[in-house]
Amino acid sequence: MPRNPLADTERLHDNNSPLARTGKDVVALGIAIAAIIMFVGTGGTVLPAIARSFSGTGLGPDKLLVNALLLNIALVIFGWRRYRELTGEVAERRRAEAQARVLAETDALTGCLNRRAIGPAAEQLFGEAEKRGDAVAVIMLDLDKFKQVNDVNSHAAGDILLIEAARRLFAVLPEGALLSRIGGDEFACVVSHPAGRTDKIDSLSEELIAAVARPVPYEGSEIETTISAGIASREPGSAIDSQALLHSADIAMYHAKKRGRNRHCWFDPAMESELKFRSELEAGLRRGIGKGEFVPFYQKQVDLETGELAGFEMLARWKSPVLGQVSPEIFVPVAEEIGLIAPISEELIARALRDARNWDPRLTLSVNISPLQLRDPWFAQKLLKMLVEANFPPSRLEIEVTESCLHENLGMVRSMITSLQNQGVQVSLDDFGTGYSSLAQLRSLPFNRIKIDRSFVTTVNDSPESATIIQSIISLGEGLGLPITAEGIESQEVLEKMRGLGKFKGQGYLYGYPESAEETEAELAQLNLLLETPVPPETETSIAPVARSA
């Protein structure tokens, strides 16, 4: 069995000397012993004198000596009682202190070691393993989606799950291993293993993961959960301390989560720099909001048949003072995870509307929004407010949502699309073909346009599969009466091929890379597609909500 902290406290503290606390009982014992010696001395004189006086062979004892003897007897009794009391008190205090130590080192809910105690206990285990020539592994474990259990069931259910997880982990861990609840739903196991035999830890981790994955009965039903594990190990002779090893295992655990949860991952130093980059990214995103660091770039959208400029797609760029220019493919998913995508996107859209209102009124503006923004019931209202503030006609705005939004609550997505369209805004389905959406899903949502994902377009001449997929998307678009935009037109050959396949709007490096607002404006000025007098904000234009025709 692994070390149970409740049974193990004496071992952890055997060098905690109680000498200072026994000082008082030694004094009391000394008084009692001195009184006994004096009693023997005075008693040796007084008692024979009493005996002689009773037998009539001598005089009675000296009164002073009798008094001294009586005092002595009182002292012996008092000293002895005091000694007994003090030893009782000290024993009681020691018991209370031992209990306090157990409580201070134990997690009250699960009985595991707590965060404070795991470091010293692990160091002790390192020392023991070192003597045997063994390695020591730290396995950091974190329950997957534990918050959901708390939210959906209750905190009581969460507690039961934690207690049961700890019990099962205890049961799987080998003799001498340590188990600690580091906090929340995170556990750390410290276990020694023969040097070089990481396979032993692989199979132990698998066992731990499998043990926790068994459903936990709760109020007549069952709670299911999984656990992710990160492992870091120290070979004998290594100078790495417990805190560093716990930290490495923690990083590996986050990696296991990122790779899909319910699995284990070994620490690799590259993970650390990745995590550092990630936290720099998060901190930078938080700092950058409201400071004009998020800027819109614009890429041309062209009518493939006529070659005429139809409008622009706004593509976000982050000009980070620390990291330089960061692509949306890197910062958008992080902003989504940390809940910052809406403010960043709103800042960008507001700026793009201000830029685009000075373009020729025939030019459209497409903006990408995250599926998370589609979940915001106020999004349509916020957009309307931005349109009014920028004095931009809704009919020139197209909102692009990626196919992944179809995995969301379809009813909610449908009502959001409808309310955007009721304001006169167009809504298109971006990156189509990558997200495995079904025809039924597509038919049930009132999109205005489909955009074929660039991965098919760029390879249309090299891959027969891409060409087939494009052809089926074209017939789908025709069947549903949806116009199509082709992304990723990089070469004249691709353009020719696409022209042969049907009528499209298109965009791609052949027509131009995404460019800054200033570059776009300069180019439009050259083409005579910029308004001579810039539109002032918030003048009355026809932006009253437009009812969408069925």
Q: Does 403 bind ligand C2E (CB under 6 A)?
A: no
Q: Does 129 bind ligand C2E (CB under 6 A)?
A: no
Q: Which is nearer to Mg ion, 242 or 370 (CB)?
A: 370
370 binds, options Mg ion, ligand C2E, none, Cβ within 5 to 8 A by partner type: ligand C2E
369 binds, options Mg ion, ligand C2E, none, Cβ within 5 to 8 A by partner type: ligand C2E
Q: Which is nearer to Mg ion, 4 or 434 (CB)?
A: 434
Residues whose CB falls within 8 Å of the CB of residue 286, separated by 6 or more in sequence, listed in order: 338, 340
Q: Return the number of other C-beta atoms located less than 10 Å from residue 98's C-beta.
A: 14
Stretch that binds ligand C2E, among 126-134, 194-202, 377-385, 484-492 (CB under 6 A): 484-492
Q: Which is nearer to Mg ion, 228 or 368 (CB)?
A: 368
Q: Does 485 bind ligand C2E (CB under 6 A)?
A: no
> How far apart are the C-alpha atoms of 37 and 47, rounded to whole Å?
15
> How far apart are the C-alpha atoms of 390 and 394, rounded to whole Å?
11
Sign of the Cα pseudo-torsion (505, 347, 379, 332, in order): positive
Which parts of this chain interact with Mg ion (CB under 5 A)? Answer: 368, 400, 430-431, 487
Rounded to the nearest angstrom, the gap between the alpha carbon of residue 83 and the centroid of all alpha carbons in its chain is 58
Burial classification of residue 94, based on how many CB atoms lie within 10 Å of its CB (0-12 exposed, 13-18 middle, 19 or more buried): middle
Q: Which is nearer to ligand C2E, 142 or 430 (CB)?
A: 430
Q: Does 430 bind ligand C2E (CB under 6 A)?
A: yes
**Would you say 441 and 459 are in contact if contact means Cβ atoms under 8 Å apart?**
no
Distances (CA, A) of 545 to 387, 388, 425, 536: 11, 11, 9, 21
Annotate 76-106 with DSSP letters as a single string.
Answer: HHHHHHHHHHHHHHHHHHHHHHHHHHHHHHB
CB of 488 to Mg ion, least distance (A): 8
CB of 540 to Mg ion, least distance (A): 31
Q: Does 449 bind ligand C2E (CB under 6 A)?
A: no
> How far apart are the C-alpha atoms of 133 and 121, rounded to whole Å?
18
CB of 312 to ligand C2E, least distance (A): 12
Give the containing element (helix H, strand E) for 426: strand 426-432
Contact flags string 295-324 toward ligand C2E, x per CB under 6 A = ----x---------------xx--------
Q: Which two tokens stand for residue 351?
A: 């700026």
Which of 488, 498, 504, 506 is the binder for ligand C2E (CB under 6 A)? Answer: 488
Q: Which is nearer to Mg ion, 126 or 456 (CB)?
A: 456
Q: Which is nearer to Mg ion, 161 or 450 (CB)?
A: 450
> How far apart are the C-alpha atoms of 424 and 245, rounded to whole Å?
58
Q: Does 490 bind ligand C2E (CB under 6 A)?
A: yes
532 binds, options ligand C2E, Mg ion, none, Cβ within 5 to 8 A by partner type: none
Q: Which is nearer to ligand C2E, 5 or 477 (CB)?
A: 477
Which of 3, 300, 454, 505 is the binder for ligand C2E (CB under 6 A)? Answer: 454
Sign of the Cα pseudo-torsion (435, 439, 441, 446, in order): positive
Task: Give the residue among 275, 158, 287, 173 at the shortest CA–CA distance from 225.
Answer: 158
Q: Does 508 bind ligand C2E (CB under 6 A)?
A: yes
Stretch that binds ligand C2E, among 202-210, 273-281, 327-335, 530-538 (CB under 6 A): 327-335
Q: Does 458 bind ligand C2E (CB under 6 A)?
A: yes
Q: Does 408 bind ligand C2E (CB under 6 A)?
A: no
Contact flags string 329-358 toward ligand C2E, x per CB under 6 A = x--x------------x--x----------
> How far apart are the C-alpha atoms of 450 and 472, rounded to whole Å?
12
348 binds, options ligand C2E, Mg ion, none, Cβ within 5 to 8 A by partner type: ligand C2E
CB of 401 to ligand C2E, least distance (A): 9
Phi/psi at 533 (5° precision): -110, 115
> How far apart are the C-alpha atoms of 215 and 222, rounded to whole Å?
6
Q: Does 514 bind ligand C2E (CB under 6 A)?
A: yes
State how beta strands 505-506 and 178-183 pair: unpaired
CB of 405 to Mg ion, least distance (A): 12
Task: Give the residue among 452, 441, 433, 391 at the shortest CA–CA distance from 417.
Answer: 441
332 binds, options Mg ion, ligand C2E, none, Cβ within 5 to 8 A by partner type: ligand C2E
Q: Does 158 bind ligand C2E (CB under 6 A)?
A: no
Please report, for the chain, how many H helices and E strands are present, in that order: 19, 17
**Would you say 310 and 301 are in contact if contact means Cβ atoms under 8 Å apart?**
yes
Q: How many residues bind ligand C2E (CB under 6 A)?
A: 26
Phi/psi at 153 (5° precision): -90, -90
99 binds, options Mg ion, ligand C2E, none, Cβ within 5 to 8 A by partner type: none
Where helices occur in 173-241 by DSSP H, the ranges are 198-213
509 binds, options Mg ion, ligand C2E, none, Cβ within 5 to 8 A by partner type: ligand C2E
Residue written as tokens 């910029």?
A: 530
Which of 9, 180, 228, 370 is the binder for ligand C2E (CB under 6 A)? Answer: 370
> How far apart are the C-alpha atoms of 426 and 475, rounded to whole Å?
21
Judged by the rule CB under 6 A, the positions of this chain that interact with ligand C2E are: 299, 315-316, 327-329, 332, 345, 348, 368-370, 400, 402, 430-431, 454, 458, 487-490, 507-509, 514
